[in-house]
Amino acid sequence: MREIHTIDEFDAHVADVGSLDGVVVQGVDLSSRSEVIESISCTGGTFLGNRFESSTLEHVLDGGAVVFPRLPDLPFDMYRPTLYRQGELLTGWVPGDSESFDRDALDSLIYVWTTERPAGENLGVVDALATRLHDHAIDDALAEHLAHHPDVVAVMGGHSLVRTDPAYRMAAELGRLLAREGWHLATGGGPGAMEAANLGAWLAPYPDDALDHAVTLLSAEVDYTVADAYLRAGLTVLDAYPDGAESLAVPTWFYGHEPTNQFASHVAKYFANSIREDGLLALATRGVVFTPGSAGTTQEVFQDATQNHYDVFGVVSPMVFLDATFWTETFPAEPLLRQLAGDRPYGQMIGVADSAADALAFLVDHPPQRSSAH
């Protein structure tokens, strides 16, 4: 089914095909194309959040198309046709105004909207529908993005890792190595290890000493709960290094108190954390690197293991534990996972590393294995 996301795509399709039969048109302002639409067939078309003149809407509906309207009073576009751009979720924030992020930033306005009900109370049916349509739109946009980036490596880790910790720099070095390898880095999009990995990928085109300089700039502000100062430190890096490499962040408003990190070029932010976590691991077909973390990272370890254990997506991908002491002694997930794997194929795809270079080497030496059953 053909999908149309821009007015230029709409014009090209109509010129080529001469109808809107069976197409999906998503998030396009069609109010300037009334005469064209009313002159052609729309049978079986689906229109998601488009703007029409009233006569055009009547023609579309009479022709057998399905129209999903925009809902009022939402701080987000439930039919957005693309991923969020770098910095887009900071729209409204005024750097230097200590209250502006929490009060005015798009990211915060959406998060506040999700919390405007008593604890434990479910979303109303209309709001729930809006969030699910938004997340479906993000799924769709993410699939289009990944069509151009087939080799995805995810870096998972804790949000509490501060910018002055040596492990932060190691995660950044890893992100840089992965980007220079030609792979597409994906993270959970939050602060800590996730920010570090996206930072490293962003700086991949620059000389190695750019990372030293960037970490020094960021180290001036280490507490992400003081959002304005924390984000302004990020802006100093982006000002110094404005032309970075692409990478992906996949955060969620379930953790909406954490600002989305600034160094990913593309952001797939979800309302549903379960969809986000499972999807992030599923898209990382080139492998996943786990840096030390807490409950969230631990959950991701075993979610990824489950996907490999049952060959859910027809591909078994490498799993690398960065920091051997943490993962084999402090929190011995790695030996437990080996015992779980037994003689299954993914048992040979579990590795431990103590440096970014060793993690990369394991990923290079252990390419994903596709199942003959899929």
pLDDT tens, 156-174? 999 999 999 999 999 999 9
Residue 157: partners with Cβ closer than 8 Å, 6 or more residues away: 171, 192, 193, 194, 196, 197, 290, 291, 292, 293, 297
Nearest to 253 by CA among 135, 133, 100: 135
> Do the beta carbons of residue 231 and residue 108 sit within 8 Å?
no
Q: What is the CATH number of the domain that holds 178?
A: 3.40.50.450
Residue 298 placed within a domain: no
Residue 123: partners with Cβ closer than 8 Å, 6 or more residues away: 117, 131
The answer to whether residues 177 and 277 belong to one domain is yes
Residue 52 placed within a domain: yes
Sequential DSSP letters for 91-120: TT--TT-TTHHHHH-HHHHHHHHHTSS-TT
The model's pTM is 0.93
Residue 82 placed within a domain: no
The answer to whether residues 168 and 262 belong to one domain is yes
> Do the beta carbons of residue 123 and residue 255 sit within 8 Å?
no
The answer to whether residues 146 and 265 belong to one domain is yes
Of 32, 47, 68, the domain-final residue: 68
How many other CB atoms are there within 10 angstroms of residue 243's CB atom?
Answer: 8
Give me the pLDDT at residue 372, please.
56
The answer to whether residues 50 and 155 belong to one domain is no
Give me the pLDDT at residue 358, please.
98
Give me the pLDDT at residue 280, please.
86
Of 50, 68, 86, the domain-final residue: 68
Residue 304 placed within a domain: no
The answer to whether residues 144 and 261 belong to one domain is yes
Q: Which residues of 331-369 are buried (b: 16+ CB within 10 A; e: fewer)?
A: bebbeebeebbeeeebbebbbbbeebebbbebbeebebb
Distance CA 264, CA 281 (A): 17
Strand-strand pairing, 152-156 and 184-187: parallel
Of 233, 267, 284, the domain-final residue: 284
Amino acid, single-letter form, for residue 335 = P
The answer to whether residues 40 and 149 belong to one domain is no
Does the CA dihedral 266-271-275-278 come out positive or negative?
positive
The answer to whether residues 258 and 157 belong to one domain is yes
**Helices of type H across 96-202:** 100-104, 106-114, 125-146, 166-180, 193-202
pLDDT tens, 341-365? 999 999 999 999 999 999 999 999 9
> Do the beta carbons of residue 23 and residue 48 sit within 8 Å?
no
Residue 76 placed within a domain: no
Distance CA 255, CA 154 (A): 19
Q: Which range, of 36-40, 324-328, 354-358, 369-373, averages the lowest pLDDT?
A: 369-373
For the chain, what is the domain count?
A: 2
Give me the pLDDT at residue 373, please.
52
Q: Which residues pair with 187 in a beta bridge?
A: 155, 249
Residue 357 placed within a domain: no
Give me the pLDDT at residue 42, please.
96
* Number of alpha carbons in the 13 Å side-chain half-sphere of residue 109: 15
The answer to whether residues 158 and 278 belong to one domain is yes
The answer to whether residues 256 and 174 belong to one domain is yes
The answer to whether residues 146 and 264 belong to one domain is yes
Residue 229 placed within a domain: yes
Residue 91 placed within a domain: no
pLDDT tens, 177-232? 999 999 999 999 999 999 999 999 999 999 999 999 999 999 999 999 999 999 99
The answer to whether residues 250 and 145 belong to one domain is yes
How many other CB atoms are there within 10 angstroms of residue 180's CB atom?
Answer: 14
Q: Which domain holds residue 199?
A: 140-284
Distance CA 255, CA 92 (A): 20
Give me the pLDDT at residue 374, please.
47
The answer to whether residues 154 and 253 belong to one domain is yes
Query: Mean of the pLDDT values across residues 104-129?
Result: 89
Helix (H, G, I), strand (E, B) or coil at 288: strand
Proportion of the chain above pLDDT 90, given as a percent: 88
Nearest to 318 by CA among 341, 286, 291: 286
